[in-house]
Each structure stands twice: as structure tokens, then as C-alpha cells.
């Protein structure tokens, strides 16, 4: 990623509100120093695997020059589980969205080492990307694993999973497309279940009021961290039904 693009991505990382209030972000740009290999990967491989924002419409024909189904992962962190899924599922295209540059560098390095052709990365606020870069009914699956729980009550408004954002996710999903969420924060899990259940166009694949037990995904870095603290894990899988 060129410095200009990186700087632009960071300054664009806020959703400009219609009025003068400061935007509410679901993330803070963490300082975290780039390792030498992450920095090198950003310089050498962004061109190949990165999609600058704004970039027009993102879809399989435009972005991957094929017709494969599209999976979008929001907040992939260090990217280990996304790398594993993309390796295991070469028949799917993956778009990873993240604002944390060390994680982007790490994933770029992994993609280059494995020479994967089915992953692209966007460095920007997922809320804006979803709204502007994806056509309605174009995504097969959206996955958000261990989004920041923002445990303090006064920070709940920063949580990614809210009614408005969920409606945007639904709008971008194909009919029968899926939303897969996971968290290690029980109170956030209950909130997610409530918000997704209230959405008329979503059907809980686990059954009413239930969490999804058949995880079928690699363990993530934050999940491992939560396990060290003795946290539980709650997965949710919802399917978009035809209106």
C-alpha cells in the first residue's frame, strides 16, 4: 500500500455524518507497531491483493474476473482464520475488510506465501464500504467474528451489530445468503440474537432463540485470547429469507 493510499484510508476511516456531530466508530485505530515483514508486505503486496476505497463496485466479475460466490469478512484482525478459510475453499471469493494495518500486513504476507487468488482486502470502515461498494443482493455470506464488544454501557453505541447496520447487511445479502457472527461476550451475544431475530428478513438457522452449535470455522486470535480468560463462545447463523 503506498503511503498516500494508507494515509487516505486512515483519514477516510470515519463515516462522515450529515450534521456536525463526530461520527460514532466501531473501532479505534490501534497504535500497534508494524513488524518488518508486515511493513514489507504492505509495500510489496497491496497492489496485488488490496482494493483502494472508493473503487467502484466490488463483486466477483469486477474484482476477481470470475463468477464465484462472494464471502465478506468484516474485522478480520490478524487474518489467520480468513487465510485458512480461503485456502480451504478455493471455489469461493473472499473480501476481507479491516482498518488495523499490522493485521492487513500479516494477511498480505500469508496470501503472497500461499499464492491465493481468491482474497482481496479493503482498508476502510466497513460501514461505508458496505453502503457504497456492494450492490444490493450481491453477497453470499457475511462473517463478523469477535467484533469489539464495547462492554461499557456508554460505549454500546459503538457496537457494530445494531439494527441499522444489520439492515444494511441484509440489504447486501443474496436471498438465502447468510450472516455468521461470533462473540465471546455473553451480553453482546444476547444483544446480537435480539437484533437479528427482530429483523423480519432473517431466519435463525439454529432455531428460534438458539445459538449456532456447528461452528465450522477456524479458531480466531481473539477467540483463543478469550479462551485463556475462560470466556465462552457464542456463534449465530442467520439466513436471509425472501421478502
Ligand X SMILES: C[S@@+](CC[C@H](N)C(=O)[O-])C[C@H]1O[C@@H](n2cnc3c(N)ncnc32)[C@H](O)[C@@H]1O
* Residues of the shown chain interacting with ligand X in the complex, contacts defined by CB under 6 A: 26-27, 74-77, 97-100, 103, 125-127, 145-148, 160, 220-223
Q: Which is nearer to ligand X, 170 or 233 (CB)?
A: 233
Minimum distance between the CB of residue 241 and ligand X, rounded to whole angstroms?
Answer: 26
Q: Which is nearer to ligand X, 170 or 200 (CB)?
A: 170
Q: What are phi and psi of 94, to 5 degrees?
A: -120, 135
What share of residues in the chain are helix, strand, coil (percent, to 5)? 40, 20, 40
Give the active site residue among 125, 148, 184, 235: 148
Are 78 and 106 contacting, i.e. CB atoms less than 8 angstroms apart? Answer: yes
Nearest in space to 76 (alpha carbons), one of 36, 120, 17: 120
Q: Which is nearer to ligand X, 14 or 201 (CB)?
A: 14
Q: Which is nearer to ligand X, 98 or 235 (CB)?
A: 98
**Residue 43 half-sphere exposure toward CB, CA atoms < 13 A:** 7
- Strands 119-122 and 173-183 come out as unpaired
Would residue 148 show up in a list of annotated catalytic residues for this protein? Answer: yes
> Counting Cβ atoms within 10 Å, is residue 171 exposed (0-12), middle (13-18) or buried (19+)?
middle
Furthest-apart CA atoms within the chain: distance in Å: 50
Minimum distance between the CB of residue 81 and ligand X, rounded to whole angstroms?
Answer: 7
**Catalytic site positions:** 148
Amino acid at each position: 500500500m503506498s503511503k498516500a493510499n494508507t494515509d487516505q484510508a486512515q483519514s477516510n476511516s470515519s463515516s462522515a455524518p450529515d450534521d456536525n456531530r463526530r461520527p460514532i466508530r466501531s473501532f479505534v485505530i490501534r497504535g500497534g507497531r508494524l513488524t518488518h515483514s508486515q511493513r514489507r508486505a504492505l509495500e510489496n503486496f497491496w497492489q496485488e491483493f488490496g482494493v483502494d476505497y472508493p473503487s467502484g463496485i466490488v463483486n466477483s466479475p469486477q474484482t476477481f474476473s470470475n463468477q464465484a460466490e462472494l464471502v465478506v469478512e468484516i474485522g478480520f484482525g490478524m487474518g489467520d482464520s480468513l487465510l485458512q478459510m480461503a485456502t480451504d475453499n478455493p471455489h469461493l471469493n473472499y473480501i476481507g475488510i479491516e482498518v488495523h494495518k499490522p493485521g492487513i500486513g500479516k494477511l498480505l504476507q500469508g496470501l503472497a506465501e500461499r499464492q491465493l487468488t481468491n482474497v482481496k482486502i479493503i482498508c476502510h470502515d466497513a460501514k461505508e464500504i458496505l453502503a457504497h461498494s456492494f450492490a444490493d443482493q450481491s453477497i453470499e455470506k457475511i462473517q463478523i467474528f469477535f467484533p469489539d464488544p464495547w462492554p461499557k454501557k456508554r460505549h454500546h453505541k459503538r457496537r457494530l451489530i445494531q439494527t441499522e447496520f444489520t439492515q444494511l447487511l441484509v440489504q447486501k445479502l443474496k436471498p438465502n445468503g447468510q450472516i455468521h457472527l461470533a462473540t465471546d461476550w455473553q451480553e453482546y451475544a444476547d444483544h446480537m440474537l435480539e437484533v437479528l431475530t427482530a429483523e423480519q428478513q432473517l431466519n435463525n438457522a439454529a432455531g428460534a432463540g438458539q445459538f449456532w452449535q456447528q461452528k465450522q470455522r477456524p479458531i480466531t486470535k481473539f477467540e483463543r485470547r478469550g479462551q485463556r480468560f475462560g470466556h465462552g463462545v457464542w456463534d449465530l447463523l442467520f439466513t436471509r429469507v425472501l421478502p
